[in-house]
Amino acid sequence: MQTLGLLDEFLQDETITEIMVNGASQIYVEKEGRLQLTEKRFVDDKELILVIDNILGPLGKRISDEIPFVDARLLDGSRVNIIVPPLSLVGPMITIRKFFKKRVSGSELISLGSCNQHMLNFLQLCVAGRKNIVISGGTGSGKTTLLNVVSSFIKSDERILTIEDTAELRLNQEHIGRLEARLADSEGKGAISIRQLVINALRMRPDRIIVGECRGSEAFDMLQAMNTGHDGSLTTIHSNSPRDCLKRLESMVLMAGIDIPTKTIREMISSAINIIVHISRIQDGSRKIVSITQITGMESDTITIAPIFEFKQTGLDKATRKVVGDFRPTGTIPTFLEELKVKGMSIDMEMFGGG
Ligand SMILES: Nc1ncnc2c1ncn2[C@@H]1O[C@H](COP(=O)(O)OP(=O)(O)OP(=O)(O)O)[C@@H](O)[C@H]1O
Ligand SMILES: [Mg+2]
């Protein structure tokens, strides 16, 4: 068992999802969706550095003067970032993103108030129909957790390849290849990017490619793959709205350094991506799928989108400070339903609010 001194108590508390140490004298936690300052503090920076050594030691990583920050994982799988002076002005800072001990299931998402059954059924239909899905949302909005749930809809007779910076996905299918990118070593050598892994994965006969987070030039290769028969792929993108997600995709494609006109990039995006699921951490700290949007095509230079499901806030409960509202179908029917019916899939039209 790894011991992290003062932090152990927070690591064991299942209602705490994040731990943030801002130098020796401040430890914040996110508990049940809300940030709060704890009473605990370290004696001094030295005690804090011991904890950092305990985190990095087993991983063979260390923090150096040249690179005073590092991403790592605790032995239980939680994700950690450490940054120390002189880059941090408040002393060593540790940020821990805890893993749910259990894999979150679709029904748990519903009981957490993150979506409803119809939305899950729709996502399940999209996965079965091999639609390309992007999960979009801000930092810590629950993208990776949702990606895990959506990925669980993939049938176990398919070959899945996952590609990540730090392996966070926990799929329970049997046939999985897991690839993890690598940072450069202390001499600046040996880095392997997500993009290189995507290109390599295409030679590994994947039925599904899951890119944990798309944030750079790999977008280009991913879109190309989606457009050339590798459909049914899944990824997440850091963004503020479905529109913003499209903009980010566009700038990520440009990072690939290939000279393509903007309109062509947009055409690539609109023909590759079918669905954007936007998740958000809302006012009361809960995470909600605020929209499920279809990309419907292009109108002159603009990608057209149509929301299929939305969360509508109707109020705020004064006593509990919880947001009140509901998930609604917009009434728009996805344009690919016919195609899915032709494939022999049965579709319950009730989910779209129709009969
Ligand atoms: N649906 C949910 N309801 C409540 N809490 C959630 C939900 N999904 C995730 N969380 C919690 O929120 C935190 C962030 O989750 P997750 O890692 O999935 O987010 P993310 O958007 O992928 O974050 P990042 O931007 O850092 O990659 C975790 O601590 C997780 O336990
Ligand atoms: Mg994530």
Give the list of residues 6+ apart from residue 293 with CB closer than 8 angstroms, or none: 242, 275, 276, 277, 278, 305, 306, 307, 308
Q: Whose CA is nearest to atom 19 of ligand 1?
A: 142
Distance 270 CA to ligand 2 centre (A): 24
Distance between CA 349 and CA 355 in Å, rounded?
Answer: 6
Around ion ligand 2, residues with a beta carbon closer than 5 Å are 143-144
**309 neighbors 326 (Cβ within 8 angstroms):** no
Distance 104 CA to ligand 2 centre (A): 14
Nearest-CA neighbor of 289 among 313, 305, 307, 309?
309
Does the 5-97 domain belong in CATH 3.30.450.370? Answer: yes
The span from the first CA to the last CA of the chain, in angstroms, equals 55
Nearest-CA neighbor of 93 among 42, 17, 128, 139?
42
Token reading at 72: 């790592």
What's the confidence (pLDDT) of residue 1? 61
Residues in contact with ligand 1 (CB, 6 Å cut-off): 17-18, 97-98, 100, 109, 112, 114, 137, 139-145, 238, 287
Q: Whose CA is nearest to atom 5 of ligand 1?
A: 287
Distance 145 CA to ligand 1 centre (A): 6
What's the confidence (pLDDT) of residue 249? 97
What's the confidence (pLDDT) of residue 121? 97
Local structure of residue 13 (DSSP, 8 states): -
Q: Name the residue of 144, 148, 165, 327 whose CB sits within 8 Å of the most ligand 1 atoms, as the mutation to test its pocket.
A: 144
What's the confidence (pLDDT) of residue 72? 86
pLDDT in tens, 233-262: 999 999 999 999 999 999 999 999 999 999
**193 neighbors 200 (Cβ within 8 angstroms):** no
Distance 4 CA to ligand 2 centre (A): 24
Q: Whose CA is nearest to atom 25 of ligand 1?
A: 139
Q: Whose CA is nearest to atom 29 of ligand 1?
A: 17
Output the CA angle 291-294-299, nearest 5 degrees. 125
Distance 187 CA to ligand 1 centre (A): 34
Q: Containing H/E element for 296?
A: strand 287-299
Q: Containing H/E element for 148?
A: helix 143-151
| DSSP output for 207-246 | SEEEES---STHHHHHHHHHHTT--S-EEEEE-SSHHHHH
Nearest-CA neighbor of 308 among 344, 333, 276?
333
Residues in the chain predicted with pLDDT less than 70, given as ranges, are: 1, 100-102, 186, 354-355
Architecture (CATH level 2) of domain 106-352: 3-Layer(aba) Sandwich (3.40)
What's the confidence (pLDDT) of residue 250? 97
Q: Name the residue of 287, 311, 323 whose CB sits within 8 Å of the most ligand 1 atoms, as the mutation to test its pocket.
A: 287
Atom of ligand 1 lying closest to residue 30 CA: 29
Q: Name the residue of 13, 97, 165, 169 whose CB sits within 8 Å of the most ligand 1 atoms, as the mutation to test its pocket.
A: 97
What's the confidence (pLDDT) of residue 102? 67
Distance 257 CA to ligand 1 centre (A): 32
- Please state, as a whole number, how many other Cβ atoms lie within 10 Å of the Cβ of residue 124: 16
Distance between CA 117 and CA 109 in Å, rounded?
Answer: 9
Distance between CA 236 and CA 65 in Å, rounded?
Answer: 33
Where are the chain's structural domains? Answer: 5-97, 106-352
Instruction: Name the 3-class secondary structure at 59.
Output: helix
Distance between CA 274 and CA 270 in Å, rounded?
Answer: 7
